[in-house]
Structure 1
Amino acid sequence: MGKIYIPANNAEDWAQFLAEPVRHWRIGYSARSLAHCWQDADSFPPEVSEALSTSEALCGTTMLLGIPEHQVALPGGSTKSQSDIWVLGKRDEQLVSIAIEGKVREPFGSTVAEWLESGTPGKRVRLQFLIETLGLHEVLPSIRYQLLHRTASAILEAERFNAGHALMLVHSFSQTQDWFEDYQAFAALFGIDAEVNRVHVARKVGKVTLHLGWVCGSAEYLSR
């Protein structure tokens, strides 16, 4: 991905960056719902601001910029971690790296065990890198791989921009909190008893303090 970015004039401008626009840019799906929600807000949507206010460290964070479908390179293969939107925020004098994962009914994809089934050496290298980046000793085979690399990407971008905080935030438009149990299992790796519409501090990883959160978006964007 290049280093020159062009501002979006409307939500439709986001579709061009999807890996499969025809398949994913559909009413009721996360990519479209997320784009309309964030484009309407032109900053943090209200539910995101409210969740940030539950964190002593991130309360009052302002949004400096957001990049749809932002890619972060990872070792162990050519596939990058692609956040639905990556946000650079600021709280007092500290920068904040936020990787947003949009959801409606879509699952988080393969578990670590399923992802490793092909057994390529690169996957082992990547998994070890993710474990170390997240400050963990190991991960359960049942953990969703997507949550690992998305969270790691938030930390890597925090390091790149010299940000003191990194947040992986699931922005779900499912009104029944589909797949929240997968997020709960992931958060439990950090000793977190996860709650909806709340940001939790996970741990300090090097110079970066990691946070995890899940917010529920408005149902109005499921029909946009």
Structure 2
Amino acid sequence: MRKIYIPTSGAQSWQALLADPMKQWRTGYSARTLAHCWEAAEGGLPPEIADLFGSDTELLIAIPEHKVSLRDAGRDSQTDVFALVKSSNRTIAVAVEGKVNESFGPTISDWYVDASLRKQQRLAFLCELIGIERPPPGDVHYQLFHRAASAVLEADRFKTDDAAMIVHSFSSDNKWFDAYAAFLDLFKLTAEAGKLVSRRLPDGRTLHFGWAEGDPQFLSL
């Protein structure tokens, strides 16, 4: 994983960072939409993201397509946007997952079929890190586990006060919100669009969750 980052020169700069730059960079899809939205904020946070954290929120740095090691030999978790945010005099490591109509990928049951020892160890690690009892329900999406874990791992690495996992959705009908809500139910939290909810982690930090509704104007760019 590279640790030297350079500033972007606009939304187009994000394309080369994608796992599949040709396939994923399409108008109306999450990668391109998210890039245009965040670049339009001109050094700050998109307003719907800032609103989750409060009026005094400040973006310290944002890194597109940020890879986070899950501390094993498997694939890194590639976060659409990783941000360090300051709010109410606290720093927060934020992992942002952009969505339009794309799903959250395989469920735990699908991902865990004939699970290798590495997968067993990874799932155990993720559950312990974010404070979920094992085994988790099979119908919850695996991506939400490693995206939340990414926020926690980077909170530890950057020594921030809190961590947060935010879904930045540009879907007109909040598609896949039910999958997000099912994941939050594992923490005994109730999901609500535009509202931050929180859970204390085993390491003492607070992990925040939010569903932000993005401006649809960016879908056509």
Band the TM-score falls in, shorter-chain normalisation:
over 0.9
Q: Say yes or no: does 1:62 pair with 2:58.
A: yes
**Which residue does 2:3 correspond to in 1?**
3
Matched length: 219
**Which residue does 1:176 correspond to in 2?**
173
Distance of 2:202 and 2:39 partners within structure 1: 32
**Which residue does 1:135 correspond to in 2?**
131
**Residue 112 of structure 2 aligns to a residue in which SS?**
helix
Give structure 1 regions of 4+ aligned residues with deviation exceeding 4 angstroms.
Answer: none
Among 107, 117, 129, the alignment partner of 2:113 is 117
**Which residue does 1:56 correspond to in 2?**
none
Contact map agreement 1:130 1:149 (CA 8 A) in 2? yes
**Which residue does 1:51 correspond to in 2?**
52
The letter of the residue matching 1:14 is: W
How does the TM-score come out when normalised to structure 2? Answer: 0.96
**Residue 208 of structure 1: CA displacement?**
1.5
**Which residue does 2:87 correspond to in 1?**
91
Alpha-carbon displacement from aligned partner over 1:63-84 (angstroms, at most 9, x marks no partner): 1000000011114432011110
Distance of 2:206 and 2:125 partners within structure 1: 18
Alpha-carbon displacement from aligned partner over 1:116-165 (angstroms, at most 9, x marks no partner): 11411100000000000001222111110000000000000001111111
Distance of 2:123 and 2:98 partners within structure 1: 23
**Residue 61 of structure 1: CA displacement?**
2.5
Identity within the alignment, %: 43
**Residue 183 of structure 1: CA displacement?**
0.1
Q: Say yes or no: does 1:147 pair with 2:148.
A: no
Distance of 2:216 and 2:79 partners within structure 1: 22
Distance of 1:99 and 1:60 partners within structure 2: 19
How does the TM-score come out when normalised to structure 1? Answer: 0.94
Contact map agreement 1:76 1:124 (CA 8 A) in 2? no
**Residue 46 of structure 1: CA displacement?**
0.9
**Which residue does 1:74 correspond to in 2?**
70
Contact map agreement 2:130 2:201 (CA 8 A) in 1? no
Alignment of 1:199-218 (within 5 A): 199-218=196-215
**Residue 211 of structure 1 aligns to a residue in which SS?**
strand
What is the CA RMSD across the aligned residues, in angstroms? Answer: 1.2
**Residue 44 of structure 1 aligns to a residue in which SS?**
coil
